[in-house]
Amino acid sequence: MTAFKNYLSLIKFSHSIFAMPFAFIGFFVGIMSLPKIPNVYYNLVENKSAADKILLYLHYNGYLLLLVIGCMIFARSAAMAFNRYLDAGFDEKNPRTAVREIPAGILKANHVLLFTIISCIAFMACCYFINSICFYLSPVALFVVLFYSYTKRFTALCHLVLGVGLSLAPIGAYLSVTGKFDLLPILFSVAVLCWVSGFDIIYALQDESFDKKNQLHSIPAALGKKNALRASVALHILSTLAVVYAGWYGHFGILYGCGILLFSALLVYQHWLVKPNDLSKVNLAFFTTNGIASVLFAGFVIADLFLTHPGPVQ
């Protein structure tokens, strides 16, 4: 049990709350995009509410949601474990990260690498049981989420690569239901990309001096704290614009609009918390505020689909 807790701590399992809600958005939007429930029971709810359609789909195809959750957990576990494995030397030098499992001697590096490999295999297995397109694209997804760990060694745009990795959540979940690409899940992915990149810049403010000293790349190290925060603001504005456009494009209703207001208000709040000369509230801005923003926004989007959406999304 202690070892299990150590691995949960290693991968920061609680941080799954960032991208998981957007995977749920992609999944439920995928259901609503289907012109017809793909089984003989569709006539039970034909011409009835969106909620009936979603509930019927889940009743007969709910295993897909479990597989999507599995994909999210295993992909993120592989990415986090590999990052800890690859950065163990830097983590040991950094007072902020020296307490992490590998530099602290709690877990062995080769065991963490094995955990990464097992997580990758489990992710691909989940994709295999979803559909062929998800399985064929699973190596691409793994490449993106694992490649992020190298990027800080050569580019300050590493935050955007992390954003791309997490932005695969709504697209992948949508593919699990529909087996095809569409603009609406891509818009949600753009929102995730800009949102995650923006708050990762805020988090990286803590290591500006360390990164410069050790020739690691980040937006704060390249631009300084003040300009890095401006870059984060710009990315969060783009994220808000993406969810606004997604709401218009998908013909969402009033509940979706409420979700946008809460999401954008929490983005503003985290920028109010963090100042170039005061990083004492970075963890509050990074973990708590973004976790709440993600859950609340997804809740309102899904509620809109269940309660007010007139029919299939575009």
**Block mean pLDDT (10 aa), the chain, length 314:** 74 74 95 67 55 76 92 94 95 92 92 96 97 97 96 97 96 95 97 96 94 96 96 98 97 95 95 88 81 94 82 55
- With contact defined as beta carbons under 8 Å apart, do 80 and 7 qualify? no
Q: For 252-277, write each residue's pLDDT tens digit.
A: 999 999 999 999 999 999 999 998 88
In a domain, 105, yes or no: yes
In a domain, 206, yes or no: yes
Predicted local confidence at residue 280, as pLDDT? 84
- Its domain, for residue 272, covers 2-307
Predicted local confidence at residue 286, as pLDDT? 75
In a domain, 280, yes or no: yes
Q: What is the CATH number of the domain that holds 135?
A: 1.10.357.140
- With contact defined as beta carbons under 8 Å apart, do 247 and 257 qualify? yes
Q: In angstroms, rounded to a whole number, what is the distance separating the alpha carbons of residues 184 and 249?
A: 7
Q: For 116-160, write each residue's pLDDT tens digit.
A: 999 999 999 999 999 999 999 999 999 999 999 999 999 999 999
Could you give phi then psi for residue 105, rounded to 5 degrees? 80, 10
The number of residues in the chain equals 314
With H, G, I as helix, E, B as strand and everything else as coil, classify residue 72.
helix
Indicate the DSSP class of residue 200: H
Predicted local confidence at residue 313, as pLDDT? 58
In a domain, 314, yes or no: no
Predicted local confidence at residue 314, as pLDDT? 52
In a domain, 274, yes or no: yes
Our count of domains for the chain comes to 1
In a domain, 130, yes or no: yes
pTM of the model: 0.92
Predicted local confidence at residue 40, as pLDDT? 46
In a domain, 62, yes or no: yes
The CB density around residue 139, as the number of other CB atoms within 10 Å, is 13
